[in-house]
Amino acid sequence: MFGPIFSTILGAGIKLLANLVNFWIEQKRMDRQLLAARDEKVLALIVKNQSEQAKDPFVKVSRRILFLTLTFTYCYLMIFYAFNPDISYDIIKPVDGSGGFFSWFVGDQEWQRVTLTGGLMLAAFVDLMFMVIGFYAIPSKRR
């Protein structure tokens, strides 16, 4: 007689434990779905905001003004330095350069003076200039 009662209680306990585990798993799944839905809504709002900003006439005009200003300034400087090759600039730099970029901040023991022409200074900024001009010249992809 004790066998069937014990088996019934054991079966009911296993069923309760299985229900608790299933409830816990379902709650975790719901939490993940809610987080994913929230993230999806946030991303949708970001995309909507970016597309509204891209349509804004002020943003369009300011991007074009910056692009034209940078381009014309760079072109003017190229022509100016071509007609005035005797212009030079003195800069200082660390002698050994062992500190790398941070030697400007932490200091270096010895410095040397280097003379650069205007054209050489412009040549050092060609890659940076094309990057900036490309950034402002190419419109953002609308979604």
Q: What is the pLDDT of residues 50-63, one digit of tens each?
A: 777 767 778 778 87
pLDDT of residue 143: 46
DSSP letters spanning the chain: -HHHHHHHHHHHHHHHHHHHHHHHHHHHHHHHHHHHHHHHHHHHHHHHHHHHHHH-HHHHHHHHHHHHHHHHHHHHHHHHHHH-TT-EEEEEEESS-TTGGGHHHH--S-EEEEEEEHHHHHHHTHHHHHHHHHHHHSPPPP-
- Rounded to whole angstroms, the Cα distance separating 2 from 8 reads 10
Domain-wise residue ranges, the chain:
1-55, 56-137
pLDDT of residue 92: 81
Could you report the per-residue pLDDT of 1-12, keeping only the tens digit for each? 567 677 777 777
Q: Nearest-CA neighbor of 93 among 70, 119, 129, 124?
A: 124
Q: How far, CA to CA in Å, does 101 sit from each of 4, 9, 64, 96, 98?
A: 81, 74, 33, 12, 9
Reply yes or no on whether the pLDDT at 99 is more than 70. no
- Which residue did the predictor score with more confidence, 48 or 94? 48
Which pTM value belongs to this model? 0.48
Name the band, by pLDDT with cuts 50, 70 and 90, for residue 140: low
Could you report the per-residue pLDDT of 15-29, keeping only the tens digit for each? 888 888 888 888 888
- In this prediction, residues 31-47 reach a mean pLDDT of 83
